[in-house]
Structure 1
């Protein structure tokens, strides 16, 4: 004689949380909007004298490529907010796929490739040059890996790598904040550490920002990814 058991009822599908249950999404959108409103308009005039980065002398293509880099980076930052928004990702899957393609092909890939050129020709010294080259190459690499994971339908890995790509996309914002803090901290040392050169101090502050911001955001991202692993918050069994 056989005994049959009714299968346990399937768990109801998880509903996407509304935006107000994700308290970080609105501050993120406001920060991105404020940053872009401050940073982008000078480049829309196509006037090199308004550029916040000094074009190398005699390099005629630097400024047009810098403008393109800024515009593609703007596309990346705006679409990244929708990519990282859980409610949009869950409730608008087609929109998520479309903005994802725009993020990769109309944002990160061209911005990162141009960033390699812009970074190589920076006037802020070798430390900033190396940081910009490493940052652009890393941004390009993690985004391509994330795209490849999606095409292989390895969506868990896709989310991890695109989270890292998002962190690198937003590192420019944190870099500006760190730059200001570093400038304030280093200014009293202009006459001692920097031999009276305010320009050298500014290059050092910029170097701290471009190195520290992606490192901090990548560490934070991987920490959050580890916390979200199944069982990551389970208490250890008692002896």
Structure 2
């Protein structure tokens, strides 16, 4: 499969944003499978590994495979692949959101997390589930602009982990260790920032009334 040169900046950026959470997920799987030392920060994963393993597998697939879905040149040249991959991504996206809720509801809060972050995780996991489900319903109804918009919102929330890594690392370098409140606010800001960028892109691509009417005019006069 070939990729347009114009697609590479977008793909590189999205894959780079996925790199930190992907590495973190790989280390988590290695720790769970390799019998790493149990600490207060990871004991909840050893006590119930199923939701975190499902979450990691689905999130890595969703973020890396999903990057190619938003590359216009690649998508236009590989429409059949886009449809097949899209079905897998809907499943992965719903699993990411559902397991996010599952872990939030059943795992005890680790050191440094608090009730505010728990509420934010519930809200954004629910938002992702709604977005991915909305994208699936829209494509089934052949409403492709709405499908693309909903999937962009779901992908933006999923990529929150990458943006959180950037913000938390920058905060640690500039300010120092986070508090319970600052950690929650930074993580919430990462999800919000991603959604704002997604909404800007959605509205930038949306055709105006004249542009939207033009194809119909040409069709009737041709």
Q: Relative to 1, partners in 2 of residues 1:26 and 1:185: Cα closer, same or farther, differing over 3 Å?
A: closer
1:165 paired to 2:154: yes
TM-score, length of structure 1 as denominator length: 0.74
Aligned to 1:95: 81
1:74 equivalent in alignment to 2:60: yes
Alignment of 1:113 onto 2:91: no
Q: Which has the higher helix share?
A: 2
* 1:155 is aligned to 2:140: no
**Deviation digits for residues 208-238 of structure 1 (CA, Å, limit 9, x no counterpart):** 2321111111111111221222249x9xxxx
Q: Which has the higher contact order (CA 8 A, sep 6+)?
A: 2
With over 3 angstroms needed to count, the CA separation of the structure-2 counterparts of 1:175 and 1:229, relative to structure 1, is: same
Structure 1 runs (4+) greater than 4 angstroms displaced: 50-53
Deviates more, 1:203-212 or 1:158-167: 203-212
The structure whose Rg is larger is: 1
Q: Distance in 1 between matches of 2:204 and 2:16?
A: 26
Name 1:55's counterpart in structure 2: 43
Residue 51 of structure 1 and its aligned partner are, at CA, apart by: 8.5
When the two chains are superposed, the root-mean-square deviation of aligned CA atoms in Å is 2.7
Alignment CA distance shift 1:51-1:161 (3 Å)? farther
CA distance in 2, matches of 1:52, 1:184: 24
Q: Report the CA distance between 1:53 and its aligned residue.
A: 4.9
How far, CA to CA, are the matches of 2:37 and 2:122 in structure 1?
25
Paired residue for 2:201? 224
Q: Give the conservation status (yes or no) of the 8 Å contact 1:183–1:202.
A: no
**Matches of 1:210 and 1:53, distance apart in 2:** 18
Preserved CA contact (<8 Å) 1:43 1:50: no
- CA distance in structure 2 between the aligned counterparts of 1:104 and 1:72, rounded to whole angstroms: 10
Are the aligned partners of 2:22 and 2:60 in contact in 1 as well (CA < 8 Å)?
no
User: Does the CA contact (< 8 Å) of 1:42 and 1:50 recur in 2?
Assistant: no
TM-score, length of structure 2 as denominator length:
0.79
Unpaired runs of at least 5, structure 1? 1-17, 188-197, 235-239
Cα deviation digits, residues 185-208 of structure 1 (max 9, x gap): 543xxxxxxxxxx6xx44334212
